[in-house]
A and B are shown apart, each in its own frame.
Chain A
Amino acid sequence: MNKWWTFGTGFLVGSVGLTVLTSKLAQRGYKYVVSGAMIARDRILEKTEEVLAAASNITAEAKELTEKYYQKLDREYKEANSEKE
């Protein structure tokens, strides 16, 4: 009995399913699916741009910080050495 169910479902999916998938109505629907996929892709690419901008900002600020740190070290070095003299 179970076997027949499986066969029946398979037969239905194989014949009716294919007919449904290739039907005019379904074909009209595909453009929305594809367009949806494209929009999703563009969203991801937009996010990539945002991440890129953020990364660039972070790097720039990090550079500034690093520079300040070394400037501070330079100052301390100078002060320490001038005291010795």
Chain B
Amino acid sequence: MKFKVNHKAKGQLDIDLAARRLSEEEADVLYYALVDLPGVHNVQVLPRTARLLLRFKAGEKESAELVNYLKELDLADPELKKKIPGVSARATNEEFKTRLGTMVIWHYTKKFFFPAPLRTLFIIKNGLPFIWEGLKDLSKKKFSAEIVHASAIAASILTGDIPTAGSITFLTNVGELLEEWTYKKSVDDLARSLALNVSEVWRVEGDQVVKRPLGDIKVGDRIKVYVGNVIPLDGVVSEGEAMVNQAALTGESVAVHKETGITVFAGTTIDEGELTIEVKEVSGQTRYDNIVKFIEASESMVAVTQSQAEKLVSRLIPYTFGTAALTWLLTGNVTKAAAVLMVDFSCAIEVAMPISVLSAMREAGGHHMTVKGGKFLEAISESDTIVFDKTGTLTRSVPKVEQVIAMEGRDEDEMLALAAELEEHFPHSLANAVVKAGKERGVSYGVPHSKPEYIVAHGIVSIAGGERVIIGSWHFVFEDEHTVIAPEDEEKVRNLKDQYSHLYMAIDGKLAAVIDIDDPLKEETASVIRKLKALGFTNLVMMTGDSERTAKAIAAQAGIDKYYSEVLPEDKAKYVEKEKAAGHKVIMIGDGINDSPALSAADVGIAMKEGADIAREISDITLSGSDLEQLIALKELSNKLMGRMKNTGRLGIAFNGAILVAGILGLVAPGTAALLHNSSTIGLCLRNMTNMIPDEEYYRV
């Protein structure tokens, strides 16, 4: 890519691309190629002037690296085009910026260049829809902000105060556009977070199942989807049966039974069982529409603080009218009464509050967290309890096979190979470790095995060479399946080390191997736990399926006082419910299929991005990377957002109250009142759009 560095400062580059302007696609490619780069804080593509503003972690080296990266970048590269999501948030933002710009320019063109009669005509034409909406609400005996707008516009037109009517309609239109933008943006962000991260799928080819890139799949292909995975494409079940969670489409988290001949939808997740699906549609367009419908159906986006404020405002409306009427009766002055009507308490709350929520969600996105609604940030600021899943959350998400202890004189490599082949289809961090170790050692198990069956939180069952093979926890292998240990191996089992997690494999009812998996704590875990305690979380709990001994060792290292070992998924959810019943607001953090019930039971479910698809779907917030420090940023963000929202409500009411009094006293004319009112609203909006955590501060933590 050809370009010229226009301006360079510490942590910022202003780049002039060698083009007159950028097409939509070029701008998208550029934006999505850069936005996820490590160290890059902010990307702004200015398509009209073919410019690029980059803000990044300051440093000469980073700056040079970025310039080099840009030199190598080819905007026509098909690989980069793949990075653009189905609905580009950048394009949406650009569209709304243009609409807003057009609206402002058009308003002032009319105001300064049009002759008065023509202007009046336009203002009346623009005002009529508002008056109509107001009349409709009035006929339904519903006191709404629309009625206030309508009466203010009607009063100004009737009293001949045309410019005021003009500025009210203009600012209300701007407010509505901003609201639409807010809404569209939340939908896009959500759609992006739900967008399929599946890049590879299992395709049935003859009697084999092979991993293929999603792009290679055509209509009519048969693909296999296993438990815990997202169904990547729309299709019809051709084999198998499963319970499918369609929450992403319908909002109902009750799983639906699917069998041969029934249609399944892209974006839904398999809770139990597995399916072979004949693909009917390869594009994801229908999916986006579905997500939009889902969001429209759910009220989950709105924070409670906001809906409370909105209720308060609608209660204030009749009083606004009463005051206006009283003013008119007492003073006989229509202008003063109109000035009272200009003051609309709802503006600050209906526009400025959603913007603060949206801005917080955007800011969270900038820190690589996806928040699915303002409500959840609110819940985080109020919560005092965090339940951690151990594996992948407190510990590194990449556990490693430390050693394989073969029993009954079997071969270590062969045992590892068998375990790897069985675990291959199931997304779990321990399973990944086994599969990876198998690949690294390049081992394979000679005997073919039957279709492995996954028993949630317990283990895997399959038949190999006519013998029943099971892999799983101590609980599953010994207590449920009554596996026996050969007498000569008892010594080996007794000597298993505490700090490892153990996967037990049994063949034909006898213990065949123990795989020791080392899953050390993340470096930052202990310090994050300390900081969380300082931030006011009084109740930190760790839950794990591991044995008591492993759990105790890990909890002590992490600095967590309360832990539960050998827990089943339903126990996690039950514990969350119990804490909620005791009056706690509970955050649950996890990443596996087995965490899903607890994630949906908690007030806020937080999933790690590398975790199972279903955990990400069900969760309210996803953290990218395995960086637990994000939790602290999240808590801080939530607290600041709540402060900002309350402050917005108070300032809005105080400021407008002052204008109201001034209007009654005749200190300000209706036009001035409208101007003061609107500029206070816009001022609040602008403030609410700013970041709450300065970049430097986040990167310092």
- Chain A residues packing against B (C-beta within 8 Å): 41-42, 44-46, 48-50, 52-53, 56-57, 60-61, 63-64, 67
Contact = CB atoms under 8 A, between A and B. Distances in A.
Interface of B: 6-7, 9-12, 14, 44, 46, 48-49, 51, 53, 55, 97-98, 101-102, 105
A74 to B, nearest CB: 16
B49 A57 contact: no
Given A53-B14, A56-B14, A57-B14, A46 B49 contact: yes
B22 to A, nearest CB: 11
Nearest to B53: A56
Contact of A41 (B49, B55, B105): B105
The residue in A44, A46, A49, A61 that gathers the most chain B C-beta atoms within 10 A of its C-beta is: A49
Nearest to B106: A41
Nearest to A55: B53
Contacts of B44: 52, 56
B119 to A, nearest CB: 16
17 contacts: A44-B101, A45-B48, A46-B48, A46-B49, A48-B101, A49-B46, A50-B49, A53-B7, A53-B46, A53-B49, A56-B14, A60-B10, A60-B55, A63-B9, A63-B10, A63-B11, A67-B10
A44 B14 contact: no
Contacts of B7: 53, 57
Contacts of A64: 9-10
Closest 3 CB pairs of A and B: A60-B9, A60-B12, A49-B46
A45 B98 contact: yes
A52 B47 CA distance: 13
Nearest to B104: A44
A41 to B, nearest CB: 5
B284 to A, nearest CB: 32
Contacts of A49: 46, 48-49, 51
A45 B101 CA distance: 7
Contact of A44 (B10, B12, B97, B105): B105
Nearest to A68: B10
Contacts of B102: 41
A52 B11 CA distance: 17
Contacts of A48: 101
A60 B49 contact: no
A38 B49 CA distance: 16
A63 B49 CA distance: 25
Contacts of A50: 49
Contact of B48 (A42, A56, A60, A61): A42
Contact of A53 (B11, B51, B97): B51
A1 B181 CA distance: 60
A41 B97 CA distance: 12
A49 B53 CA distance: 11
A57 B105 contact: no
A67 B98 CA distance: 36
Given A49-B46, A49-B51, A57 B9 contact: yes
B604 to A, nearest CB: 35
A41 B101 contact: yes
A73 B44 CA distance: 34
Contact of B9 (A41, A44, A53, A61): A61
Contacts of B9: 57, 60-61, 63-64
Contacts of A42: 48
A54 B693 CA distance: 24
Nearest to B10: A64
Contacts of B55: 60
Nearest to A40: B105
Nearest to B98: A45
Given A53-B7, A53-B14, 20 more contacts: A41-B101, A41-B105, A42-B48, A45-B97, A45-B98, A46-B49, A49-B48, A49-B49, A50-B49, A52-B46, A53-B51, A53-B53, A56-B44, A57-B9, A57-B12, A60-B10, A61-B9, A63-B10, A63-B11, A64-B10
